Amino acid sequence: MARETGSPNAQRTEEERVRAREERERRRRGGEAEQHPPLPPPLPPLAESAQPIVVEPSPRVPRGSSDRSAAGRAVVLLATLAALAVAALAIVLLIHRAERKAPAPPPAPRIVRVLIPEGYTADQIDVLAREDGLRGDYLKALATAVHRGRLHPSRYGAPRGTRSLEGFLFPATYELYAGAPSAQLVSEQLLAFRRNFGGGEVDRARKLGVTPYGLLTIASIVEREAGSAHDRPLVAAVIYNRLRLGMTLGVDATLRYALRDFEHPLTEAQLARNTPYNTRLHTGLPPTPIANPGAAAIAAAAHPAHVSYLYYVAGADGCGELVFSTGFGQFEHDAATYREALRRNGGNVPTCKRR
């Protein structure tokens, strides 16, 4: 029997063939998917502000050229280090050479304190100057000072031609460089004298009836005779009183100055020696001061006590104070008391028991 196109059976057959073909195509595609995995999903789009990262490939340097550059840098580094070492060594050598050639700094000059006690004479100061290491002869420096007119005793009323500076060498403590010339000490003493003996003392001398040089001489006697501040104006009063009466002063210290001996007892022969400084024999003041008085003795000579004493003698108690009297009889009694105290103490001055 003949077929009819377009019949239901024919249509199913055709659909089966299509499904078969699609199945074959699906299976074929499934095999390819197993051989090639699926691609990753595409990256999300960049934000508008983000910039793409661009990695530039580093330039390729030939291996030989890199080795040569490293070697060059090492050579430069070594040369720099060597130059620095040479420079450091040169600096050390220069410093060492400078230290060897530079002279050592001189030591600081040493200061000496020249202490001149009140009542010292020029001869005694000369000994002190040598002991303290001053240069040159102190007594020659005095003569040079007079010759050059550093001080003129005649301007103070000394007899014309007086060459002695005794009395003008003010006692004090002077700080000088070790080894300083003795002339420097003389200059400073004369300067200190002018500070301590000026117009006031000159005016007082005129009122007391003496020259300024005479007042200075009286001050030197007070310095040698009085051992306390209490006795100084009293001794000055005794001197002025005896001068006004035309009496000899009878001060042994003036004779001791001429003998250059202030320590040993005077002998009868020495007491009888005829010298202008023997005030037991000659009236008036000695020719020059007998010591270099300090400010206290100068003040006492300028302002003596208002007393009528004419005599004094050392106290028998050995305390250094003097016993004053107006009459000769009382003086003899006080002197005998003193001699008896010496005899009882074996010829020595008694020890003071009040101290």
240-299 confidence digits (pLDDT tens): 999 999 999 999 999 999 999 998 989 999 999 999 999 999 999 999 999 999 999 999
**Given a cut of 50, is residue 4 above it in pLDDT?**
no
Q: Residue 239 sits in which domain range?
A: 113-309
Residue 298 lies in a domain: yes
Number of domains making up the chain: 1
Residue 61 lies in a domain: no
pLDDT bin (cut points 50, 70, 90) of residue 68 is: low
CB 231 within 8 A of CB 307: no
CB 199 within 8 A of CB 322: no
Residue 271 lies in a domain: yes
Residue 57 lies in a domain: no
Question: For residue 330, which of 315, 311, 314, 345 has the smallest C-alpha distance?
Answer: 311
Residue 305 lies in a domain: yes
Tokens of 204: 């007082």
pLDDT averaged over the chain? 85
pLDDT bin (cut points 50, 70, 90) of residue 97 is: confident
DSSP 119: T
Distance CA(267)–CA(254), nearest Å, equals 15
Distance CA(208)–CA(69), nearest Å, equals 111
For residue 107, CA distances in Å to 103, 110, 174, 280 come to 12, 8, 22, 56
Residue 49 lies in a domain: no
Residue 344 lies in a domain: no
pTM: 0.70
